[in-house]
Structure 1
Amino acid sequence: MEMVAHDADSVPAAVGGYTNGLEVIRARRLLFVSGQIPEDRDGNVPDDAAAQCRLIWANIVGTLAHTGLTVANIVKVTTYLSDRSLAAANTAVRTEVLGDHKPALTVVLAGIFNPQWLLEIEVIAAA
């Protein structure tokens, strides 16, 4: 499988750790990871946004690993934030986890199911 980033000069620059378009060539597998929540297996929810985001990414990484994939296989991230003020923490943690990998990205302000949860993240991975 090959991934090719497409950031055309005719569209706004992709800033914040993503690419405007990500082409996946010769993929044989797609994994759709449901929206992951900031809870551990015992139902504990951290209080602050960065800790919630790290826990969500740990849940995503665990799901990917279960299928033999890594964050390098992620082609699309959709993040649902309960408040715009969480954007900086979300971006910082996502950048920590993904490093130089820049998948396609959407961030949505939304009402989150549980009021303790500040955000929820879903991904699509390909191999």
Structure 2
Amino acid sequence: MKKSLHNPASVGAAVGGYTHGCQVAEGQRILFVSGQIPEAADGSIATDFEGQARQVWRNIEAVLQDAGMTLDNLVKVTTFLTDREQVPANRKVRNEVLGDRKVALTVMVATTLEARWLLEIEAIAMA
């Protein structure tokens, strides 16, 4: 995948391992990953935030793999947390999963559809 990162000097530094803008080359395939919840294929849901976050990322990876893509193809990630206190744990898990990969990123505090879901993540990937 060919992409260009955009972090203009006229905008504050991107904090937390993301990029302000991510531009992809013309003619690439686009995959929109619906909001993934922390539910495993067997219906189980971890009770702790980190467990739920790791499951959400496993779900995202499974959708990407089904489309012939990997985490390297991600260009945009939007995370919905249910509590501002989850920000550090979310950042920890996200950084472990994404490593040095830079994506456009948004994190919001919101209410999820089910009270037991502590987060939901949607993504866009290009190949």
User: 1: CA distance between counterparts of 2:25 and 2:67?
Assistant: 20
SS in 1 for 2:94: helix
Give the structure 1 partner of residue 25 of structure 2.
25
Give the structure 2 partner of residue 122 of structure 1.
122
Give the structure 1 partner of residue 99 of structure 2.
99
How many residues are treated as equivalent by the alignment? 127
Give the structure 2 partner of residue 38 of structure 1.
38
User: 2: CA distance between counterparts of 1:67 and 1:53?
Assistant: 22
Are 2:8 and 1:8 equivalent residues in the alignment?
yes
User: 2: CA distance between counterparts of 1:74 and 1:39?
Assistant: 21
Structure 2: which 5+ runs fail to align? none
Label 1:27 to 1:94 Cα distance change in 2 as closer, same or farther (>3 A). Answer: farther
8 A Cα contact 1:34 1:122, kept in partner: yes
* Aligned-pair CA distance for 1:27: 4.0
Per-residue CA deviations over 1:63-102 (Å, capped at 9, x if unaligned) read: 1001110000000000000010111111111111111001
List, as ranges, runs of 4+ consecutive aligned residues in structure 1 with deviation greater than 3 Å.
Answer: none
User: 2: CA distance between counterparts of 1:73 and 1:26?
Assistant: 15
TM-score, with normalisation over the residues of structure 2?
0.97
Q: Specify the code of the residue in structure 2 equivalent to 1:12.
A: G
* Aligned-pair CA distance for 1:26: 2.8
Structure 1: which 5+ runs fail to align? none
